[in-house]
Amino acid sequence: MESLSFIETSMEDKIGFITLNRPKQYNALNRQMIHEIVTAAEAFDRDPNVRVILLSGNGQAFSAGADIDEMAEEGAVQMELRNQFADWDRLSLIKKPIIGAVKGYVLGGGFELALSCDLLIAGSDTRFSFPEVTLGVMPGAGGTQRLTKLVGKTKALEWILTAERIDAETALQYGIINRITEPENVLMEAREMAEKIAAQAPLAVRLIKESVHKAVDYSLYEGMQYERKNFYMLFASEDQKEGMQAFAEKRKPNFRGR
Ligand code: HXC
C-alpha cells in the first residue's frame, strides 16, 4: 500500500481503493488532500487493470468537510485566481464508476465529495449535513446543485438553510444513498458492489455512467440522442461480440474492455 500524505491507495481485484487518511481530524479536507484524491482517481481511471474506484475514510467518519483552519485564512480574490475548485471539477470527469463507502460524519465538503460519487453505501451511523451556514458561508463544491437535483428544491433548501443532520434512513428514502449497512460492514458491502460492476463489460459500464449523468443536465430529447450514440458505439467493441457469443454458447463472458 502506497502511503501519501493524506490518503492511502491500493489496488485489488480490479478495484482501485482511495482511503482518506486524516482520522484525527475526521478526515477534514485540505486542498492538498483533495488534490491527492483527484490525482489518485485519475491514475486509476487511466489504469486498464482498474474497473471501479472505491472511496472511503479511515477512522470513525468519512469526512467532517473542508479544513476550517485552512479555510479561515482564505480570500475571495485568492480563491478565484487559484481556481479553488479546479480539482473538484476534474473529479467529475472521471469515467469509471466511483463507489463511496461512508460512515459517521459526512459534512460540508465531505458531503459534496460523497455526492460526487456514483454510488453510495452508508453505515447506519452516518449523519449527512451541510453546516456551512453555521460558519457564515455556503456549500461551494456542488452542494447546492447536486443535492437539489437529487432531492428537489424543498428538502435541499431546508437542509442547507438549517444545517440539519440527515440520518442514513432519511438519506436512503430520498435517494441520496444506495444502501445502508452496519458501519463495520460498509467497506465489504461497497466492495461486493464494486466486484459486481467490475465483472461487467468496462466500455458498457463507462458509457452507462456517462449517459445517466447526462440525464441530469440534458432535456429528454437530447439525452435520448446521446444514449443512442453510445448504444451504437458499443457495437464497435469486441466485448459486445463476446457478450452475445457467450450468451449463445451458454458460458460466462470474458470481457476485456475493448
Ligand atoms: C478542521 C476539523 C474539522 C474541519 C473536525 N476537525 N472537523 N478540523 N476542519 N472541518 C478537528 C477538530 O478541530 C478537532 O481537532 C478534531 O478534528 C476532532 O474534532 P472535535 O470537534 O473535537 O470532535 P467532536 O466533538 O466529536 O465533533 C465532531 C464534529 C465537529 C461534529 C465533526 O468537529 C465539527 O462540527 N466539525 C466541523 C464540521 C463542519 O462545519 N464542516 C463543514 C466545513 S465547511 P483538535 O486538533 O482540536 O483535536 C465546508 C465547506 C466546503 O466543508 C466548501 C467546498 C469544499
Residue 57 annotated to the active site: no
Range of the domain at 244: 202-248
189 in the same domain as 75: yes
115, pLDDT greater than 60:
yes
> What are φ and ψ of residue 149, in 5° steps?
-65, -30
In angstroms and rounded to an integer, the radius of gyration of the C-alpha atoms of the chain is: 19
User: What are the pocket residues of ligand 1 if the criterion is a CB atom closer than 6 Å to any ligand atom?
Assistant: 25-26, 28, 64-69, 105, 107-109, 112, 131-132, 135, 139-141
193 in the same domain as 210: no
Q: Return the closest-CA partner of residue 232 out of 191, 257, 204.
A: 204
142 in the same domain as 233: no
DSSP SS3 for 158: helix
Residue 66 annotated to the active site: yes
For all residues of the chain together, what is the average pLDDT?
Answer: 97
CB-CB contact of 98 with 156 (8 Å): no
Q: What's the structural domain count of the chain? A: 2
Residue 136 annotated to the active site: no
Q: Could you tell me if residue 209 is inside a domain?
A: yes
- Tell me the C-alpha distance between 202 and 258, whole Å: 8
126 in the same domain as 11: yes
CATH code, domain carrying 68: 3.90.226.10
149 in the same domain as 21: yes
- Statement: the pTM of the whole predicted model exceeds 0.95: yes
| ipTM of the complex in this document | 0.98
Q: Could you tell me if residue 254 is inside a domain?
A: no
Residue 195 annotated to the active site: no
Q: Could you tell me if residue 229 is inside a domain?
A: yes
At residue 17, the pLDDT reads: 98
Q: Could you tell me if residue 257 is inside a domain?
A: no
- Tell me the C-alpha distance between 243 and 246, whole Å: 5
4, pLDDT greater than 80:
no
CA of 82 from ligand 1 middle (Å) equals: 24
CA of 248 from ligand 1 middle (Å) equals: 56
At 29-78, the pLDDT tens digits run 999 999 999 999 999 999 999 999 999 999 999 999 999 999 999 999 99
Using CA positions, which residue lies closest to atom 45 of ligand 1? Answer: 25
233 in the same domain as 144: no
Q: Could you tell me if residue 253 is inside a domain?
A: no
Q: Could you tell me if residue 210 is inside a domain?
A: yes
* Residue that the C-alpha cell 458501519 belongs to: 183
